[in-house]
Amino acid sequence: MTATLGLERELVDRGVYDRTVERFRAQGIAMPTFAQLADPSRISADLAGVDADSADPRNLWRVHWHNARAGGGFVDVPEHVVLPPAFTGVAAPIVVLLGDRFPLIGAHKVLAAYACLAPRIVTGQFDPTAQRAVWPSTGNYARGGVAISRLMGCHGVAVLPENMSAERFSWLDRWVAEPSDIIRTAGSESNVKEIYDECARLAAEPDVVVFNQFCEFGNHLAHWMVTGTAAERVLARLGYDRAAAFVSATGSAGTIAAGDRLKESTGARVVAVEALECPTLLYNGFGEHRIQGIGDKHVPLIHNVTNTDVVAAVSDRSTDALDLVLQSDAGRAVLARRGVPESVIGQLSSFGLSSICNVLAAIKCAKHFGWGPDDPIVTVATDGARLYDSERVKVGATLAPDGIDDATAAALLGEHLWGAAPDHLRELDAVERDRIFNLGYFTWVEQQGLSIEEFEARRPQSWWRALRPLIPAWDELITEFNHRTGLVG
């Protein structure tokens, strides 16, 4: 497992390492440690005049939650919004970290991509002078991988379903080295197996390294460290020393690792969210859905299932309808008349489809558990609304062909936001956790060839805790690598 899933902490190939040092020195590429990404006050890099969305290697130092929306600087506390009862219809405050503050792609998946590539670089497991980095995903991780590859002097290849949003492909068209670096697989959000099959084909080529976010434990560890710390810092600023829950759509199961950290530090329940149209975790179900960015039909290897407390499902009917309303003038006017502050309404452009999904799941939990004003629920807005402009046009043609007026906006908000029911939600006991854990067997042992011993090793919490020393070990390697390039003292 160490060699194939990003868990190496020792130098593997000195020749590759030395060539990479020379490449990074020549291109002026210095890497932040994970400790610096968790606490950017420790970053001294000069970013003045560097466009946060440009292919400048200095933007590696912006791969964290502390970017300001305007001005390109850092903030002491990650930018966030607290959704009030007037918006959510529940008394519990829902605290949302805003992922569109991340550079390059306007989504937090650049953190996952960096977390998978950086350890391979500093252990000599990836040669940017000779190999291609393949980034399989349903959209944002592929974009994040291509962006991080370009900043780190590597050749990135995106693998994603052909029916994902046009905005994803438009971005990729501008960033890849050549058109063939965008590989479109069959289907859409629900077709992860097809992505795996394409990656298996590519992995047979000698110059390819596949960075599979669903089984790369750097993804888990970076979110445990960086996203978890960001959430703790926001809660502290708001005056809370506990949280009722951390809510996250599973996707690759990277982000939900922050819930493991908050469970230890604040007592939060860990809530996994999926699409009702494909309720794999909840009902052993299957199907197709349109909530781009959350994945389905399998249990990611890096999902710490036996530490998850609740599973909730949200319908794509609701995320589609609310995306349409929240980005309309009429919808925002209805919210304003209901008493939602302008400071909250002004942040709604930061809510993409999976972000809305997370908020709806948080509302379900608040209603199910009866949480009140002293029970903050933490979640993330993984990306912003601008990634779904083309999808919104399609939805509008069906739901509101004549446009969104006040009556339509109020009806859709009433049905899908304020009328969100605490249904399709299950609290997990030990038996339920084991049931979901066992579902992963079919993907990882039968299909992907992981040994049963490696698969089973992940069941106890002691195994997950034993991963955490990798973070300071990688940080030492990053520091030494930067020293060898001569770019950081």
| pLDDT value for 489 | 65
Amino acid present at 101: R
| pLDDT value for 156 | 97
What does each C-alpha distance from 141 to 27, 99, 147, 254, 274 come to in angstroms?
Answer: 24, 13, 10, 11, 18
First to last CA, the chain: 34
Question: β-pairing, 245-249 with 208-210?
Answer: unpaired
Q: In sequence order, which ranges of 370-445 are alpha helices (DSSP H)?
A: 389-399, 406-413, 430-441
Q: Which two tokens stand for residue 425?
A: 């939600």
| pLDDT value for 251 | 87
Other beta carbons less than 10 A from residue 14's beta carbon: 9
The pTM for the full model equals 0.96
Domains located in the chain, CATH noted: 80-103+218-427 (3.40.50.1100)
How many angstroms from the chain centroid is the CA of residue 281?
18
Check: CB of residue 248 under 8 Å from CB of residue 256: yes
pLDDT in tens, the chain (489 residues): 555 688 999 999 999 999 999 999 999 999 999 999 999 999 999 999 999 999 999 999 999 999 999 888 999 999 999 999 999 999 999 999 999 999 999 999 999 999 999 999 999 999 999 999 999 987 799 999 999 999 999 999 999 989 888 898 999 999 999 999 999 998 876 777 888 899 999 999 999 999 999 999 999 999 999 999 999 999 999 999 999 999 999 988 999 999 999 999 999 999 999 999 999 999 998 888 878 777 668 899 999 999 999 999 999 999 999 999 999 999 999 999 999 999 999 999 999 999 999 999 999 999 999 999 999 999 999 999 998 999 999 998 999 898 999 999 999 999 999 999 999 999 999 999 999 999 999 999 999 999 999 999 999 999 999 999 999 999 999 999 999 999 986
Task: Tell me the C-alpha distance between 139 and 146, whole Å.
Answer: 11
| pLDDT value for 158 | 95
